[in-house]
Structure formats: structure tokens, C-alpha cells
């Protein structure tokens, strides 16, 4: 019963987020601030993780190919497919559920605890629009983060594979190009956009409706990570079935 009520409150929140807009000049500044805090500030960790995980994927693939009948280009091919289809869009999003999501939940939750949200409400401001809408708009830039993750993941695979002596550069690049299906990129960015919406709204919902004090802010951040990850995994499954399943 509680889950049904939670889901209901999430959709009611979304309705309020898109009603009674905040003054344009104020919201414009907030969007820029959110782009900086959520998108730009995530680039470092995304770049680091993508590069090294790309490298590990290439090494693992190379080490598991013993059969001489399997072509060498498989290292590049497997790295490309893993990074483009799952690692960059899905697993980076789960990492972002921890980094970005807990930041959103704790910042909104702290505002709730310190009555800053009440202060907005008393002034007649639609606090959900003021707090959540700029995050949704800022995360329209999230696909750019994932594009960088894709590029660096593949670059990491090439560096680790070639410099580590696991494959030749020519074979790796050949593997990247072979059987390339452009729709896979479209698929990856469709699901990235859905994940971006989840990343902006679920942690906001957890922070906005939390009750209690500092301890509860911590609990809300944990819940936010759990809910966001579960939703990302579920929507990943649904989108994959719908777009690639047939």
C-alpha cells in the first residue's frame, strides 16, 4: 500500500513541477547553476571511470580469447558493444544515481529540514517548480556526459589493449568498425534521456517529501539511490526489450 502511495506522490509531484512556473530570469540563472553543479561537476569522475573501465573490458576480452579461430578484432568489437550499449548509458547512470542523486536529495532534504522550502511556499512560490524544474532542464545535457563516457571508454580500451600488447591497433580499430549498427547509438541516447529524467526527479522527490532531521536526510539519500538504481535497471530492461527485442 505504501508503494502505491509513494508512486502516487511521485506523479503528483511531477504535475506540480510543470505547473505555475517561476519567473523566467530567476529560472534561467537556476538552470545555469544546475548545469554547473550536476553536469560539469560530474565530468571528472565520469571521464576517470569510463577510461579505466574501457581498458579493463578490452583486457578481460583479450585474456578470455584462447581459441585461435576467434578473430583478433573481437577485442575492439566487444569493447565497442559493451561501452556503447550498456556501460556508458546504464552503468554510468547508476554511478550518477549515487553521486548526483545523493547530492540532489541531500540538498533538497536539508532545505526541508531548515524550513527553506516552507519559506519559498510562504512567499507564494511553487517550490517544486523552483527546485526541480531547473534540474530536469539541466539534465537535458546529460547525453553529452554519456557521449564523453562512450568516447573515453573506447579510448581506454584502445590504450589498454594496444599498449598492453593484447591486440594490435589495426585489429582494434577494425573491430570498432565491423558490424556497426547506427541505431545502437540512437537506442543508447534514448535510454540515456529517460535515465536523465529519472536522475533529476526521483532524488528530488525523495528529498522534497522527507520528514525529520539530519539523520533522515542521510536515510533519504540512501533511499534515493536505491529507488533511482532500481528504476534505471527496470526501464533499461523495458527499453531494451522494446527497441532491440524484436
Partner 1 sequence: MIKVIEIHKSFGEEHILKGISTTFDKGKTNLIIGQSGSGKTVFLKCLLGLFEAEKGKIVFENKAIQDMNPDEKRDLREDMGMVFQGSALFDSMNIEDNVMFPLRMFGKRKKSDMLDRVNQVLSRVNLENANKKFPSEISGGMQKRVAIARAIVNNPKYLFCDEPNSGLDPRTAILIDNLIQEITREYDITTVINTHDMNSVMEIGEKIVFLQKGNLAWQGNNDEIFKTDNKDVTDFVYSSDLFKKIRDIQNLDQ
Our finding on whether 36 is near partner 1 (CB under 8 A) is: no
Work out how close the CB of 6 gets to partner 1 at its nearest, in angstroms, rounded to a whole number.
Answer: 18
Nearer to partner 1 among residue 95 and residue 117 (C-beta): 117
Our finding on whether 124 is near partner 1 (CB under 8 A) is: yes
Measured between alpha carbons, how far is 46 from 150 in angstroms, rounded to an integer? 10
Nearer to partner 1 among residue 119 and residue 186 (C-beta): 119
CA 212 centroid distance within chain = 28
Our finding on whether 26 is near partner 1 (CB under 8 A) is: yes
Our finding on whether 118 is near partner 1 (CB under 8 A) is: yes
Scanning 17-25, 48-56, 58-66, 212-220 for contacts with partner 1 by CB under 8 A, the matching segment is 17-25
Measured between alpha carbons, how far is 85 from 89 in angstroms, rounded to an integer? 7
Q: How far is CA 10 from each of CA 187, 204, 209, rounded to the nearest angstrom? A: 26, 10, 9
Q: Are 201 and 14 in contact (CB under 8 A)?
A: yes
Our finding on whether 25 is near partner 1 (CB under 8 A) is: yes
Measured between alpha carbons, how far is 214 from 192 in angstroms, rounded to an integer? 32
Nearer to partner 1 among residue 8 and residue 21 (C-beta): 21
Work out how close the CB of 124 gets to partner 1 at its nearest, in angstroms, rounded to a whole number.
Answer: 3
Q: How many CB atoms lie within 10 A of CB 178?
A: 13
Measured between alpha carbons, how far is 105 from 218 in angstroms, rounded to an integer? 9
Our finding on whether 110 is near partner 1 (CB under 8 A) is: yes
Residues that bind partner 1 (CB under 8 A): 22-23, 25-26, 110-111, 114-116, 118-119, 121-125
Amino acid at each position: 500500500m505504501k508503494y502505491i502511495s509513494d508512486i502516487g506522490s511521485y506523479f503528483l509531484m511531477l504535475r506540480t513541477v510543470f505547473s505555475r512556473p517561476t519567473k523566467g530570469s530567476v529560472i534561467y540563472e537556476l538552470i545555469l547553476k544546475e548545469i554547473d553543479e550536476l553536469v560539469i561537476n560530474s565530468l571528472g569522475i565520469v571521464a576517470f571511470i569510463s577510461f579505466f573501465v574501457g581498458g579493463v573490458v578490452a583486457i578481460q576480452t583479450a585474456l578470455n580469447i584462447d581459441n585461435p579461430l576467434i578473430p583478433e578484432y573481437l577485442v575492439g568489437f566487444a569493447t565497442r558493444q559493451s561501452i556503447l550499449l550498456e556501460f556508458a548509458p546504464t552503468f554510468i547512470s547508476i554511478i550518477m544515481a549515487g553521486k548526483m542523486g545523493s547530492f540532489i536529495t541531500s540538498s533538497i532534504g536539508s532545505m526541508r529540514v531548515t524550513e527553506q522550502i516552507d519559506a519559498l511556499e510562504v512567499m507564494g512560490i511553487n517550490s517544486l517548480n523552483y527546485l526541480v524544474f531547473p534540474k530536469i532542464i539541466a539534465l537535458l545535457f546529460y547525453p553529452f556526459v554519456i557521449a564523453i563516457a562512450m568516447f573515453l571508454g573506447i579510448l581506454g580500451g584502445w590504450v589498454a589493449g594496444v599498449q598492453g600488447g593484447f591486440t594490435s591497433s589495426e585489429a582494434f580499430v577494425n573491430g570498432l568498425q565491423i558490424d556497426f549498427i547506427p541505431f545502437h547509438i540512437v537506442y543508447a541516447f534514448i535510454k540515456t534521456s529517460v535515465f536523465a529524467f529519472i536522475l533529476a526527479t526521483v532524488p528530488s522527490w525523495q528529498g522534497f517529501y522527507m520528514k525529520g532531521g539530519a539523520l533522515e536526510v542521510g536515510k533519504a539519500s540512501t533511499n534515493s539511490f536505491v529507488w533511482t538504481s532500481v528504476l534505471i535497471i527496470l526501464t533499461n530492461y523495458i527499453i531494451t526489450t522494446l527497441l532491440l527485442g524484436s
